Amino acid sequence: MPYPLIGSSPMELDEWSDLKRYASELKGATIRGLFEEDPGRAERLRCVAGSAVVDFSKNLIDSSVVGTLVRLARRRGLEDAIDAMWSGRVINTTENRSVLHVALRMQNGPALVVAGSDVVAEVNSVLERMSEFATSVRSGGFRGATGRPIATVVNIGIGGSYLGPEMATYALADYATRDIDFRFVSNIDPAAIASVMESCDPETTLFVVASKTFTTLETMTNARVARQWILDRLGDREDVIAHHFCAVSTNLDLVSGFGIDPANTFGFWDFVGGRYSVDSAVGLSLMVAIGPERFRSFLAGFAEIDAHMRSQPLESNVPVLMGLLAVWYRNFWGAQTQAILPYSERLRRLPAYLQQLVMESNGKSVRLDGSGVEYNTGAVIWGEPGTDGQHAFYQLLHQGTTLIPADIVLFAEPVAGPPDQQDLLFANGVAQAAALAFGRSEADLRAAGVAEEVIPHKRMPGNRPSTVLLFPQLTPRTLGSLIALYEHSVFTQGVIWGIDSFDQWGVELGKEMAADLVGPLVGARAPDISGMDSSTAGLVAAYRRLRGRPNS
């Protein structure tokens, strides 16, 4: 079926009705029972994508469910949608744009001509310039205004221009240079930029300002504070800013006006959304951290999953199955959230990163033609690393009243520390998946000699679904693969729901209203509140009073 499906609802399809029936039937079954009835279940529902082994067997599914979900995907035009994205067709229809974050990792691949331009050649040109700059910073060739090498890199951005670089740089800290410290600032809270300035030496600090338009409110507010800090301490000279700032932006006029050398400005494209941009120039601070060669390995991990997504049949296509399971739980089991549980301290920011990827992409209530959806879309994403989460919220996962599907991310080899400790970490992750699925019955508790009055409290009902993603080790390549799995899962969900996963109009209104409120908040005279609702007017008055500004 051709894609995009403008205005059509998946609820009109027979497959949707079949899935409703299967969900009703499975609510009387158990995961334990599904394993007992099908001895080959674990092997049949275990898939491989690149270096990842992905175990879907502990989900509330059977062969009928999987087959019907795949047929639903075909009826919704997923295969054509995959071709459409990779060929550069306009699939972000509300912004009239192609969606080509996949081109960011086509290193030296064949030409991909879109609107008369070879996208792959352009991407590789920027990648080469990034590599030269990152090498210069890492080697000490690029120096501050006083001639000292860079010792601290501060990434200033927000949204994808912050979450991606921060998550990935922390995740790959064991592969990073020890000669440079890396900081990340996004929040407009003045304490955020102040904490950086208090702990950094202006003579050895390099700021990476990441804003495509170079007008993003939060980013540019923090960047101007950092700029003044540098000038106050190193002298208000023409060359100072060029020695301490670089930019990830396409607005060369504003970048140059800021004082940044255009040679140290790296662009990306409208076909790359912020939450899909960590493998673009937005990842410059990451490249400085791990070096150009490892950054290319990072890109290769993405490309490995891209190739899997394009070539693998839907029935064994891992990101497609991940996306279909998200639809299954959201629409047929009423799941409102999904837990992301990485058993890796280095991936502590992965849940926050995936919050943006999933919720900004699929938090939509209208289809591609603007008609309202009659079904649920994008789940709430949350989580923490294991084993910390086990002592925080796993109680609710095991014995709470809400169904919460979980993704458990595991690694076989540690990146640092005692190797034997990895065995314990891995054992915890696998055990939690088993405990969630199979629980502990009253009979088991009685057999273990548990007092009768305590049995109801210790009983674990099980039937809590999880998917286990196992990688050999957390490396630049496997991190790229992990991110790409979720990117394509999100895309799959959006195709099923008939929504535009690549716009984000919902983030704009609050920013516009905030800009309108700044004047009434800071004015020397009492503000005109006649156009405000009574709650907002009261809060403005209270704020002005607390800041010592007149209200009358």
Q: What is the mean pLDDT of each run of 10 residues along the chain (552 residues)?
A: 85 98 95 96 98 98 98 98 95 93 91 90 96 98 97 97 97 98 96 94 98 92 97 90 96 94 93 94 98 98 98 98 98 98 98 97 96 97 96 97 98 94 97 97 94 95 97 98 98 98 86 86 86 92 92 85
Together in a domain, 411 and 477: yes
Together in a domain, 497 and 389: yes
Catalytic-labelled residue, pool 203, 345, 360, 487: 360
Residue pair 298/477 in contact (Cβ under 8 Å)? The answer is: yes
**Number of domains composing the chain:** 3
Q: Is residue 15 part of a domain?
A: no
Together in a domain, 290 and 375: no
Residue pair 47/289 in contact (Cβ under 8 Å)? The answer is: no
Together in a domain, 373 and 390: yes
Residue pair 464/403 in contact (Cβ under 8 Å)? The answer is: yes
The whole-number pLDDT of residue 2 equals 78
- The CATH number for 87's domain is 3.40.50.10490
Q: Is residue 382 part of a domain?
A: yes
The residue among 229, 260, 294 that closes a domain is 294
Residue pair 301/479 in contact (Cβ under 8 Å)? The answer is: yes
Measured distance between the N- and C-terminal CA atoms of the chain, rounded to whole angstroms: 64
The question of whether 36 is a catalytic residue gets the answer no
Together in a domain, 499 and 380: yes
The whole-number pLDDT of residue 353 equals 98
Q: b or e along 12-50 (b: 16 or more beta carbons within 10 Å of the residue's beta carbon)?
A: eeebbebbeebbeebeeebbeebeeeeeebeeebebebb
The whole-number pLDDT of residue 384 equals 97
488, exposed or middle or buried, with CB in 10 Å at 0-12, 13-18, 19+?
buried
Q: Is residue 438 part of a domain?
A: yes
Range of the domain at 530: 506-546
The residue among 261, 294, 327 that closes a domain is 294
Q: Is residue 300 part of a domain?
A: no
Q: Which two tokens stand for residue 194?
A: 């102040």
Together in a domain, 336 and 388: yes
Q: Is residue 19 part of a domain?
A: no
Together in a domain, 357 and 257: no
The question of whether 511 is a catalytic residue gets the answer yes
The Cα–Cα gap between 185 and 209 comes to 10
* Contact partners, residue 267, CB within 8 Å, separation at least 6: 126, 248, 249, 250, 281
Q: Is residue 220 part of a domain?
A: yes
Catalytic-labelled residue, pool 20, 25, 442, 511: 511
Together in a domain, 116 and 75: no
Catalytic-labelled residue, pool 128, 391, 413, 442: 391
Q: Is residue 551 part of a domain?
A: no
The question of whether 391 is a catalytic residue gets the answer yes
Dihedral, CA atoms, 157, 161, 167, 172, nearest 10 degrees?
-100
Q: Is residue 18 part of a domain?
A: no
The whole-number pLDDT of residue 530 equals 83
The whole-number pLDDT of residue 446 equals 94
Together in a domain, 433 and 364: yes
Residue of 372, 494, 501, 365 lying closest to 77 (CA atoms): 494
Together in a domain, 88 and 108: no
Task: Count CB atoms within 10 A of the CB of residue 224.
Answer: 13
Whole-structure pTM over 0.75, yes or no? yes
The residue among 503, 519, 537 that closes a domain is 503
Q: Which two tokens stand for residue 214?
A: 């170079």
Together in a domain, 266 and 227: yes
Together in a domain, 190 and 131: yes
Cα 313 to chain centroid, rounded: 25
